[in-house]
Structure 1
Amino acid sequence: MTDAIAPGPGVLPAQSIRAMIARGMIRADGPIEPVQIQPASLDLRLSARAYRVRASFLARGRSVARRLDEFAMHEIDLAPGAVLEKGCVYVVPLRESLALPADVHAVANAKSSTGRLDLLTRLIADRGQEFDRVEAGYEGPLYAEISPRSFSVLVRPGMRLNQIRFRRGRASLADDELRALHARVGLVDVEPVIDQGLGFSVDLSMPGGGPAGWRARPHAGLVDLDRIGHYDPLDFWEPVLPARSGSVILDPGAFYILVSRESVHVPPDCAAEMAPYLAMAGEFRVHYAGFFDPGFGHAAAGGAGSRGVLEVRCYEAPFALEHGQVVGRLVYERMAERPEVLYGAGLGSNYQGQGLKLAKQFRDPAGG
């Protein structure tokens, strides 16, 4: 293990994150736990208090604390466990804070299980002009904006709903670089569609004999985020079954869990992220919460055949989604250095080798 921060451009790996912690560039209220450090990102933890706010906001040149004075309605103690209600917006200070070098910036994303629960979680930093972005050289606290969209949730201090990735310089691969990488190691198991990233299409063929996807029930109960493999999916989700034509009509306002037609491979020297798809593709938005870590879908790390799980929300008008339709784009990034541990390799990763899979709080529908 090295204590040096990787010198080259790209996404910083786990060993560099540990070095940043040792040097005080990443700070925390209490020790940072080893389980927080992923191959190419750091999980962020909720503190013991939350603020119910009347609207989502950005800091825009001011401190988040000052903006809370404008928008907070009341403070909530998370220590005994607290319910964050569907349709409300909350801001929670995080235990971690940053003192970034002048050449390192950061980007955040909701963790996979967070997104699969339709639990909108975005990072806010002081003076920030965008969600989920932290400028190079930033020094200050971090906050999570949390807005449950489909289910009310029970949260406690220390829960990890979002994660942060650190970058130096340009990290994303151009299309020509992606084509060369696919030719060398294979990124998908079909002919790739490469245009400002790697195209993703949807599988509505009812893979494995089960449903083509899941739709969140509009009036479901409470999800305790600490209860793993606990809930019956049918209490919270409706199976999605295609019409005879093979299409699924998405209802406005509804939230769906679907799966990619392609098996995905993120080689050890790369990381990836699903970019929201352009509105011109249809009246829906597709996103993949959580980063694709180095080693996702990598055969040597136990991930051969891993699919991308797609979180889909329909807007404005019903939309007919067809099997094989391109719905998303995967942006690959170079690592500044290969991480010492890959996704799925002894990390207890929940979604390595996955197909259509709900958040970890739900039982496997096939297993009862």
Structure 2
Amino acid sequence: MTTAPTGVCPNQMIETMIADGTIRAEPEIRPEQVQPASLDLRLGTVAYRVRASFLAGENRKVTDRLAEFEMHRIDLTNGAVLEKGCVYLVPLMESLALPGEVSAVANAKSSTGRLDLLTRTITDGGMEFDRIPAGYDGPLFAEICPRSFSVLVRPGMRLNQIRFRRGQAVLSDVELAALNAEMPLVDGPALIRDGLGFSVDLQLPGSDLVGYRAKPHTGVIDLDRIGYYDPAEYWETVRADAGRIILDPGAFYILVSREAVHIPPDYAAEMAPYLAMVGEFRVHYAGFFDPGFGHAHAGGAGSRGVLEVRCHEAPFVLEHGQVVGRLVYERMALAPSRLYGAGIASNYQGQGLKLSKHFRAAG
């Protein structure tokens, strides 16, 4: 009997899981939902406005908890606006029947994070956001809280994604250092401590423009409109003074990493916070980094990591080169049959400082 390989499940294993009913959906899953190391999840037809964010809790169902928190429900069939500052729960079209050796983790898609659209996955019996235990059998729900912009959504929209794992796949620092020695993961010195550290770039060549800050009072963003919106209507430019900026409490910023990142084809990565003690801010970690991100053979040759930053409590001085986050690398169970940026729609391959795909190119 052959033992199934451990690691993150690639696209071909996800396709098998769909075929054998491990991943279920109504209507059926579309091919474009399957990414090199994850599956995009789709919004269902109704959104529940709830009083507060919640988890189901041990041995409890999400639908049962809705009776405690539901304020009203919204039919999404013809599109509906989710208001800034409100919390919504949306049943997803996908559900799971995971075997005992397979667990999953969910995360917001890159474009979702760049809109400051807090999107987390919850499950029946769930004790954590975005974490689905091995053997889970049941529905999936998206908790959505627009924080900077109100958004227009429709059924089938893909705001979050899910990644499946067999066993433990995270590289230790020793293993990560060996991988970096074999094939450099960044275009400079590698800071390896509980993952691969990355820092903020506040000295972009030829310009003092280093980022964008969300305006507080804007119009609605229709998530189906790509390359449509004028950035100036939604964002203020952020310019550095001697390689530093001051973050305002409660404000949301788009910045960029100093390092160009490389994810080899046999690996995947996830962005995570660095240390809470380094300052009164948080780097929102929207994304999975798929195999091939920044990889030369997939059109990347290194890609910067876009940083979604929110300051808390007090104004904070952020300086060029300050370490703000880390990438946790994981082995793939098998090499994916297609890579990020190679033959699939990959909006952020080879990126630098870049807003979400909904905005026209600045300048």
TM-score tier (shorter) = over 0.9
Which residue in 2 is equivalent to 1:177? 175
Specify the code of the residue in structure 2 equivalent to 1:125: T
Which residue in 2 is equivalent to 1:303? 300
Structure 1 residue 74 displacement after superposition: 0.6
- Per-residue CA deviations over 1:287-312 (Å, capped at 9, x if unaligned) read 33121000000000001131000000
Unaligned stretches of 5+ in structure 2?
none
Task: Provide the rounded CA distance (Å) in 1 between the counterparts of 2:266 and 2:211.
Answer: 32
Q: Which of 277, 281, 284 matches 1:284?
A: 281
Task: Provide the rounded CA distance (Å) in 2 between the counterparts of 1:276 and 1:225.
Answer: 27
Which residue in 2 is equivalent to 1:103? 101
- Contact 1:112 1:288 survives alignment (8 Å): no
Task: Provide the rounded CA distance (Å) in 2 between the counterparts of 1:209 and 1:168.
Answer: 46
Equivalence map 1:164-203=2 (5 Å): 164-203=162-201
Comparing 198-207 with 97-106, which one deviates more in the overlay? 198-207
Answering whether residue 35 of structure 2 is matched by residue 38 of structure 1, we say yes
Equivalence map 1:46-57=2 (5 Å): 46-57=43-54
Change (3 A) 1:344 1:280: same
- Per-residue CA deviations over 1:56-76 (Å, capped at 9, x if unaligned) read 000012100001111111110
Equivalence map 1:24-35=2 (5 Å): 24-35=21-32
Q: Percent identity?
A: 72
Specify the code of the residue in structure 2 equivalent to 1:303: G
Aligned-partner SS, 1:212: strand
Answering whether residue 329 of structure 2 is matched by residue 332 of structure 1, we say yes
Q: Which of 230, 239, 242 matches 1:241?
A: 239
Which residue in 1 is equivalent to 2:8? 11
- Contact 2:40 2:162 survives alignment (8 Å): yes
- Contact 1:259 1:355 survives alignment (8 Å): yes
- Contact 1:287 1:328 survives alignment (8 Å): no
Task: Provide the rounded CA distance (Å) in 1 between the counterparts of 2:297 and 2:161.
Answer: 25
Which residue in 1 is equivalent to 2:160? 162
Aligned-partner SS, 2:288: coil
Answering whether residue 318 of structure 2 is matched by residue 321 of structure 1, we say yes
- Contact 1:251 1:318 survives alignment (8 Å): yes
Structure 1 residue 8 displacement after superposition: 1.1
Aligned-partner SS, 1:297: coil
Which residue in 2 is equivalent to 1:294? 291
- Contact 1:272 1:330 survives alignment (8 Å): yes
- Contact 2:274 2:323 survives alignment (8 Å): no
- Contact 2:56 2:124 survives alignment (8 Å): yes
Structure 1 residue 277 displacement after superposition: 2.6
Specify the code of the residue in structure 1 equivalent to 2:97: A
- Contact 1:350 1:360 survives alignment (8 Å): yes
Task: Provide the rounded CA distance (Å) in 2 between the counterparts of 1:208 and 1:357.
Answer: 16
Which residue in 2 is equivalent to 1:119? 117
Q: Report the TM-score when normalising by structure 2.
A: 0.98
Which residue in 2 is equivalent to 1:22? 19
Q: Which of 59, 78, 91 matches 1:80?
A: 78
- Contact 2:208 2:240 survives alignment (8 Å): no
- Contact 1:267 1:295 survives alignment (8 Å): yes
Unaligned stretches of 5+ in structure 1?
none
Task: Provide the rounded CA distance (Å) in 2 between the counterparts of 1:208 and 1:78.
Answer: 45
Q: Which of 329, 343, 348 matches 1:346?
A: 343
Specify the code of the residue in structure 2 equivalent to 1:122: R
Answering whether residue 269 of structure 2 is matched by residue 269 of structure 1, we say no
Which residue in 1 is equivalent to 2:138? 140
Structure 1 residue 209 displacement after superposition: 3.1
- Per-residue CA deviations over 1:222-275 (Å, capped at 9, x if unaligned) read 1000000000001000000011x2110000000000000000000000000110
- Contact 2:186 2:302 survives alignment (8 Å): no
Equivalence map 1:61-76=2 (5 Å): 61=58, 62-76=60-74
- Contact 1:6 1:337 survives alignment (8 Å): no
Task: Provide the rounded CA distance (Å) in 2 between the counterparts of 1:73 and 1:166.
Answer: 33
Specify the code of the residue in structure 1 equivalent to 2:335: R
Q: Which of 90, 93, 99 matches 1:92?
A: 90
Structure 1 residue 221 displacement after superposition: 1.1
Structure 1 residue 207 displacement after superposition: 4.1
- Contact 1:8 1:336 survives alignment (8 Å): yes
Aligned residues: 361
Task: Provide the rounded CA distance (Å) in 2 between the counterparts of 1:268 and 1:36.
Answer: 19
Q: Which of 126, 129, 143 matches 1:128?
A: 126
- Contact 1:6 1:16 survives alignment (8 Å): no
Task: Provide the rounded CA distance (Å) in 1 between the counterparts of 2:54 and 2:200.
Answer: 33
Structure 1 residue 206 displacement after superposition: 2.9
Structure 1 residue 208 displacement after superposition: 5.6
- Contact 1:173 1:334 survives alignment (8 Å): yes
Change (3 A) 1:248 1:210: closer
Q: Report the TM-score when normalising by structure 1.
A: 0.97
- Contact 2:208 2:239 survives alignment (8 Å): no
Aligned-partner SS, 2:140: strand
Task: Provide the rounded CA distance (Å) in 1 between the counterparts of 2:312 and 2:6.
Answer: 38
